[in-house]
């Protein structure tokens, strides 16, 4: 019997993992430059946390969570998203009282979904959450930070910003009532999912992919007609900041986000280059959440981006990562001993250089093939003659003619420093 990955789970082979780590580091470095502090959160939380925060009538809680009883009989859930945990951490450790905070986190999330390209049951997110700041300036900062990131990753041309305001809780309540009133007239024509949501979470019907339902929605009441004045002003100011920064966006009234906690600003970064799984990053404001979780009223806003989808976009752009700058080949015995010693000396003196020693038997020719495949710029060749002369042959693998020099051990570091420039 051969074991296989569980459906929806992915193995990241070295090339893919390198790409993931690379993207993650680049995102992290941008967040760092904006003054965001990284935090780590457990993969497991009590099930009730997610039910309470995300909402009972959401897709995630209704059908996507990995929930089980532990040996103690407590119901636990593998986190399907990061905001709930982040708010819990901030509250539990008293990080929110009279403070402004900018946090970020990264790691796997779990949702029991139908796996397809860009949609997995374990996927990687990077999230940012800001607390204690109520104005549109911080919404704008989060959005501009994403825009910078797309530029640095070289994908700014392929991603667009979709923006909407959901108003405050009261205006959403009024809209909800009006929407339900309107849709009740079409009960017999609604698809099954939408009919169910009419009771539990009618706003989600706006997201429906069913054409006949979308047709019914054409004449439905519009959220924007219910938005309170303060939320309107907040949104206008946000748009003004983005305009002043020269950032293009598209106001999309159907963006309501799948989770219960959002209010006012909501946004998504969307691409055409990934087919149906086009949302690379989603976020918004959640001013009521901390209070709803038993804390003092604290405004919040954040986003989460999907690393798997970013990796799919970047796959073609990044060359497969080279594993070595210097590859050391040698014959067995004394020469191999010298090879290992020389490699350590280089690692001490040139910490940025990646040095790989061929640690397996094999003829010189086969070893040189490995050196070539490693993408290394330089092969160091050590045989009995080199040992006798206390020297190393330095071969420039990528130069025309592949020049080769016998270099004494004492001069090796300065020689390598020169040729690695």
Residues that bind ligand ATP (CB under 6 A): 81, 111, 113, 118-120, 123, 125, 258, 277, 279-282, 304-306, 308-309
Q: Residue holding tokens 């009740």?
A: 184
Report the residue number whose CB is nearest to ligand ATP: 306
State how far the Cα of 404 lies from the Cα of 383, in Å rounded to an integer.
Answer: 14
Give the containing element (helix H, strand E) for 178: helix 169-184
- In the complex with ligand ATP, which residue's Cβ is closer, 113 or 168? 113
**Tokens 């990934």, located at residue:** 274
CA distance 385 to 361: 18
Contact 311, 277 (CB under 8 A): no
Q: In the complex with ligand ATP, which residue's Cβ is closer, 59 or 325?
A: 59
d(CA 392, CA 378): 12
Burial class (CB in 10 A: 0-12, 13-18, 19+), 244: exposed
CB of 115: closest distance to ligand ATP in angstroms? 8
CB atoms within 10 A of CB 287: 20
* Residue 145 vs 304, nearer CB to ligand ATP: 304
Least distance to ligand ATP from the beta carbon of 283, Å?
7
DSSP state of 116: B
Name the residue nearer to ligand ATP (CB basis): 158 or 237: 158
Nearer to ligand ATP, 258 or 362 (CB): 258
CA distance 409 to 386: 10
Residue from 152, 384, 136 nearest 264 by CA: 136
Least distance between ligand ATP and beta carbon 70 (Å)? 24
Nearest Cα to Cα of residue 50 among 101, 100, 93, 87: 87
Q: Supply the minimum distance, in Å, between the C-beta of residue 261 and ligand ATP.
A: 11
Comparing CB distances to ligand ATP, the nearer of 106 and 358 is 106
Which C-beta is closer to ligand ATP: that of 55 or that of 221? 55
Minimum Å gap between C-beta 85 and ligand ATP is 13
Give me the phi and psi of 238, to 5 degrees please: -60, -50
| Ramachandran angles phi, psi of 331, nearest 5° | -80, 170
Min dist CB 336 to ligand ATP, Å, is 46
DSSP designation for 320: P
Which residue number, 307 or 339, has a Cβ lying nearer to ligand ATP? 307
The helix/strand/coil state of 67 is: strand
Q: How far is the CB of 2 from ligand ATP (least distance, A)?
A: 26
Give the Cα separation of 113 and 115 in Å (integer).
Answer: 6
Alpha-carbon distance 290 to 279, whole Å?
26
State in angstroms the smallest separation of the CB of 6 from ligand ATP. 14
Q: List beta partners, residue 303.
A: 128, 283
Nearer to ligand ATP, 278 or 295 (CB): 278
Instruction: Provide the minimum distance between the beta carbon of 113 and ligand ATP in the complex, in angstroms, as a whole number.
Output: 5
Reduced to 3 states (helix: H, G, I; strand: E, B; else coil), residue 288 is: coil
């Amino acid at each position: 019997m051969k074991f296989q990955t569980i459906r929806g789970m992915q193995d990241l082979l070295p090339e893919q993992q390198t790409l993931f780590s690379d993207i993650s580091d680049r995102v992290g470095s941008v967040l760092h430059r904006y003054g965001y502090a990284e935090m780590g959160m457990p993969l497991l939380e009590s099930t009730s946390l997610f039910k309470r925060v995300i909402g009972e009538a959401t897709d995630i809680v209704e059908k996507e969570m990995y929930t089980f009883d532990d040996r103690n009989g407590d119901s636990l859930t593998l986190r399907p998203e990061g905001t709930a945990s982040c708010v819990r951490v901030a509250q539990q450790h008293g990080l929110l009282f009279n403070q402004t905070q900018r946090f970020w986190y990264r790691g796997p999330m779990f949702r029991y979904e139908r796996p397809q390209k860009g949609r997995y049951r374990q996927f990687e997110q990077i999230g940012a959450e800001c607390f204690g700041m109520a104005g549109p300036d911080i919404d704008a900062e989060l959005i501009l930070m994403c825009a910078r990131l797309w530029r640095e990753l070289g994908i700014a041309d392929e991603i667009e910003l979709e923006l909407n305001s959901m108003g405050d809780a009261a205006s959403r309540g009024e809209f909800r009532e009006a929407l339900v009133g309107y849709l009740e007239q079409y009960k017999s024509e609604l698809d099954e999912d939408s009919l169910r949501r009419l009771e539990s979470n009618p706003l989600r019907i706006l997201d429906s992919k069913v054409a006949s339902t979308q047709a019914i929605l054409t004449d439905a009441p519009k959220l924007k007609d219910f938005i309170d004045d303060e939320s309107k002003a907040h949104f206008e100011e946000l748009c003004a900041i983005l305009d002043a920064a020269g950032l293009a966006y598209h106001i999309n009234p159907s963006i309501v986000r799948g989770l219960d906690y959002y209010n006012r600003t909501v946004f998504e970064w969307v691409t055409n280059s990934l087919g149906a799984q086009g949302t690379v990053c989603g976020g918004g404001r959640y001013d009521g959440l901390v209070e709803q979780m038993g804390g003092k009223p604290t405004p919040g806003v954040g986003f989460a981006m999907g690393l798997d989808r970013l990796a799919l976009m970047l796959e073609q752009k990044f060359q497969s990562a080279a594993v070595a700058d210097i590859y050391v080949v040698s014959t067995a015995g004394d020469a191999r001993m010298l090879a290992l010693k020389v490699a350590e000396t280089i690692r001490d003196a040139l910490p940025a250089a990646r040095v790989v020693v061929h640690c397996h038997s094999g003829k010189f020719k086969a070893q040189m093939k490995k050196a070539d495949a490693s993408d290394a710029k330089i092969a160091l060749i050590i045989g009995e003659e080199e040992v006798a002369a206390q020297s190393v042959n330095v071969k420039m693998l990528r130069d025309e003619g592949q020049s080769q020099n016998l270099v004494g051990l004492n001069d090796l570091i300065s020689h390598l420093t020169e040729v690695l420039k």
